[in-house]
A and B are shown apart, each in its own frame.
Chain A
């Protein structure tokens, strides 16, 4: 039994050592840092793409961006891409220029630990002359 206690104390010291490193920082969950178009912004030209800056590089195959117009009709977005840097945004390019109107972006992404996060934001396109 005394042996067990000694092993216990030794093991606790070991766990403490490992945990000193592990507990150095909080685990950040995936979040949307910024977007283009920005939330509730009004653009005077058609945006070429929707870009999402996330707090961690989400797995692209599990990321979805859907855009709908004011009538709820789906706006075509090309296959999502991302640059090589971790800080590069997830990008969904529009296949055709947008016309004036209100648009809603719905996105969904999966963090490395499997948590699925999603969000919605809107923006307006007001082309000059329209």
Chain B
């Protein structure tokens, strides 16, 4: 019961963080490339726009609710594991390393949740990206990296980078897709749609390899020195293998989409949906992985 609660709490945390990073990054990019004459579905989140993108706003608010809820779930599972009542949470936060990390995570998650609920003005976009990035760093402070006594800062930087780049990749894909759907509903012309996907493709070309590499190196950090037979024989290694397989499929789909965008075509709708579906499974596997002990301990 407690184990499944932990997995779902972590998966929800990743989901909320990834959505926030994706929305924040696309928002900042839109504002940095914004010209007074340009109007597109990307601008639909602006408070002054008469055609609000209800789906993107809905996803953002759902992500905000998740980020508001997750600290309670994490606290509950930690107290259950320690067999402590809620009244001891304040002591845990004040007097333990986990508690301090949890406090930072809670503050950044709630600030990000508030930013997600606001209309995406220029200030909000920058604020959201900053708070979501701080959340990525805080998440690094609660995972395996927090127990790395030898290179604690480098390990946390690597974990934070992994969360951030996956967020920019998957969150960016989600909100680009939603903006395209909203644009189609409003009769947006193809030039604007192409520009949006090219912008996302440029981001994905940078962040997808970084996400894969930082993830691989985080895994290598935990498995360093273990024989392949030992790794594959462990629950951790088998889940890592499943995750790697899913990510590989996502990369192949992403590469094909990138080629389509480079040729001036739009990504296939079904492929985008498959990529996002696979991403959801990767999040669930990752949430299980972070609670599993690496082999050889």
* Given A25-B150, A25-B151, A114-B78, A4 and B96 contact (CB-CB distance below 8 Å): no
Cα(A38)–Cα(B77), bound, Å: 31
When distances are taken between beta carbons in the complex, the residues of chain B under 8 Å from A59 are 95-99
CB distance from B252 to the nearest CB of A (A): 17
Say yes or no: A15 contacts B221, CB within 8 Å. no
Cα(A60)–Cα(B224), bound, Å: 30
Say yes or no: A15 contacts B147, CB within 8 Å. no
Among the interface residues B96, B99, B224, which one has the most CB atoms of the partner chain A within 10 A?
B96
Say yes or no: A18 contacts B157, CB within 8 Å. yes
* Given A11-B206, A12-B210, A114 and B98 contact (CB-CB distance below 8 Å): yes
- The one of B92, B101, B205, B291 in contact with A62, judged by C-beta atoms closer than 8 angstroms, is B92
Say yes or no: A15 contacts B154, CB within 8 Å. no
Say yes or no: A7 contacts B78, CB within 8 Å. no
Interface string of A76-104 (1 = CB under 8 A from B): 00000000000000000000000000000
Cα(A112)–Cα(B97), bound, Å: 6
CB distance from B185 to the nearest CB of A (A): 29
Say yes or no: A8 contacts B205, CB within 8 Å. yes
* Given A15-B217, A26-B294, A31-B297, A56 and B149 contact (CB-CB distance below 8 Å): yes
CB distance from A28 to the nearest CB of B (A): 7
Say yes or no: A114 contacts B142, CB within 8 Å. yes
Q: Is B235 an interface residue (CB 8 A)?
A: no
- The one of B145, B146, B210 in contact with A8, judged by C-beta atoms closer than 8 angstroms, is B210
Interface residues on B, range: 35 or more
State the majority secondary structure of interface residues on B.
helix
Say yes or no: A62 contacts B96, CB within 8 Å. yes
Q: Is A119 an interface residue (CB 8 A)?
A: no
Cα(A30)–Cα(B293), bound, Å: 11
Cα(A33)–Cα(B203), bound, Å: 47
Interface string of A1-25 (1 = CB under 8 A from B): 1011101100110011011011111
Say yes or no: A113 contacts B142, CB within 8 Å. yes
Cα(A112)–Cα(B99), bound, Å: 9
Cα(A26)–Cα(B294), bound, Å: 9
- The one of B81, B97, B102 in contact with A116, judged by C-beta atoms closer than 8 angstroms, is B81
CB distance from B64 to the nearest CB of A (A): 24
CB distance from A34 to the nearest CB of B (A): 17
Say yes or no: A22 contacts B262, CB within 8 Å. no
User: Shortest 10 CB-CB distances between A and B: which pairs?
Assistant: A59-B96, A19-B217, A116-B81, A22-B154, A113-B147, A113-B146, A4-B205, A114-B98, A61-B95, A21-B154
Nearest residue (CB) in B for A8 is B206
Give the contacts of A37-76 with B (CB-CB under 8 A): 56, 59-62, 64
Nearest residue (CB) in A for B258 is A1
Cα(A77)–Cα(B196), bound, Å: 65
* Given A18-B158, A114-B78, A5 and B147 contact (CB-CB distance below 8 Å): no
Among the interface residues B82, B203, B205, which one has the most CB atoms of the partner chain A within 10 A?
B82
Cα(A111)–Cα(B101), bound, Å: 12
Say yes or no: B210 contacts A15, CB within 8 Å. yes
- The one of B202, B213, B224 in contact with A26, judged by C-beta atoms closer than 8 angstroms, is B224
When distances are taken between beta carbons in the complex, the residues of chain B under 8 Å from A24 are 150-151, 224
Say yes or no: A62 contacts B98, CB within 8 Å. yes
Nearest residue (CB) in B for A111 is B147
Q: Is B155 an interface residue (CB 8 A)?
A: yes
* Given A114-B101, A116-B78, A27 and B262 contact (CB-CB distance below 8 Å): no
Nearest residue (CB) in B for A19 is B217
Say yes or no: B155 contacts A22, CB within 8 Å. yes
When distances are taken between beta carbons in the complex, the residues of chain A under 8 Å from B155 are 22, 27
